[in-house]
Amino acid sequence: MRDTLIQFVIFEDPSDYPDKWVARKFTITPGKISAGPAYICDSLEAARAHVWPGLVNIGRTPQDHRTIKEVWT
């Protein structure tokens, strides 16, 4: 699947899970972004444990929503 990009996004205190950390997998293909399951956690370290081995933390951009803390790809 050469045209597929996998990213995990780690959120802090999103509106759907207040006071929690959430790791969510996104599958990105040409013309489509699919969100996977949400892993609800009590800490950043616990959320990071759901990120696939070998992915790299690329941080975030100033344009990202305030709840996005890390993006792994």
Parts of the chain with a pLDDT under 70: 1
Residues in a beta bridge with 72: 8, 57
pLDDT at 1: 53
For 33, counting Cβ atoms within 10 Å of its Cβ (0-12 exposed, 13-18 middle, 19+ buried), the class is exposed
Q: What is the pTM of this model?
A: 0.91
pLDDT at 2: 75
